[in-house]
Amino acid sequence: MSFKSAFLNELMERVEARNAGEKEFHQAVREVLESLEPVIEKHPEFVKNGVIESIVEPERIIKFRVPWVDDKGNVRVNRGFRIQFNSAIGPYKGGLRFHPSVYEGIIKFLGFEQIFKNSLTGLPIGGGKGGSDFDPKGKSDMEVMRFCQSFMTELSKYIGADTDVPAGDIGVGAREIGYMFGQYKRLRDEFTGVLTGKGIPYGGSLARKEATGYGLCYFTEEMLKDNGLSFDGKTVVVSGSGNVAIYAVEKATTLGAKVVAMSDSNGYVYDKNGIDLDCVKKIKEVERKRIKEYLVYHPEAEYHEGCSGIWTIKCDIALPCATQNEIDENSAKALVANGVKAVCEGANMPSTPEAISAFQSAGVLFGPAKAANAGGVATSALEMSQNSMRYSWTFEEVDAKLKDIMVNIYHNASSAASEYGMPGNLVAGANIAGFLKVANAMLAHGVV
Site for ligand NDP in 129-168 (CB under 6 A): 168
- Residue among 145 and 159 whose Cβ is closer to ligand 2IT: 159
Q: What Rg value do the Cα atoms of the chain yield, rounded?
A: 21
DSSP letter for each residue of 333-402: HHHHHTT--EEE-SSSS-B-HHHHHHHHHTT-EEE-HHHHTTHHHHHHHHHHHHHHHT----HHHHHHHH
Interface stretch with ligand 2IT, choices 92-100, 176-184, 313-321, 436-444 (CB under 6 A)? 92-100
Select from 265, 308, 385, 408 the one that contacts ligand NDP (CB under 6 A): 265
436 near ligand NDP, rule: CB under 6 A: no
Q: Which of 93, 108, 117, 129 is catalytic?
A: 129
196, 373, 425, 431: which one binds ligand NDP (CB under 6 A): 373
Interaction between residue 215 and ligand 2IT (CB under 6 A) = no
Contact 61, 104 (CB under 8 A): yes
**Single-letter residue type at 101:** S
Regarding 120 and contact with ligand NDP (CB under 6 A), the answer is: no
Considering the complex, what minimum distance in angstroms separates the CB of residue 297 from ligand 2IT? Answer: 30
Cβ pair 238, 326 in contact under 8 A: no
Q: Which is nearer to ligand 2IT, 261 or 372 (CB)?
A: 372
- With vertex at residue 94, the alpha carbon angle to CA 91 and CA 97, rounded to the nearest 5 degrees, is 145
Residues 352-411 that bind ligand 2IT (CB under 6 A): 376-377, 380
Nearest to 99 by CA among 172, 156, 153: 172
In the complex, the smallest distance separating the C-beta of residue 197 from ligand 2IT, rounded to whole angstroms, is 6
CB of 44 to ligand NDP, least distance (A): 34
Q: Which stretch binds ligand 2IT (CB under 6 A): 77-85, 87-95, 314-322, 440-448?
A: 87-95
CB of 208 to ligand NDP, least distance (A): 8
Distance between CA atoms of 41 and 26, rounded to whole angstroms?
22
Q: Is 222 in the site for ligand NDP (CB under 6 A)?
A: no
Query: Judged by CB under 6 A, which of 243, 387, 412, 414 binds ligand NDP?
Result: 243
Binding residue for ligand 2IT, selected from 196, 331, 412, 414, defined by CB under 6 A:
196
Alpha carbon distance 76, 174 (integer Å): 23
Residue 289's CB is within 10 A of a number of other CB atoms, namely 13
Rounded distance between C-alpha atoms, residue 145 and residue 243, angstroms = 20
- With 0-12 CB in 10 A as exposed, 13-18 as middle and 19+ as buried, what is 415? middle
Which sequence positions are flagged as catalytic?
Answer: 129
Which residues contact ligand NDP by CB under 6 A? Answer: 168-171, 173, 212, 240-245, 264-266, 307, 321-323, 346-348, 373, 376
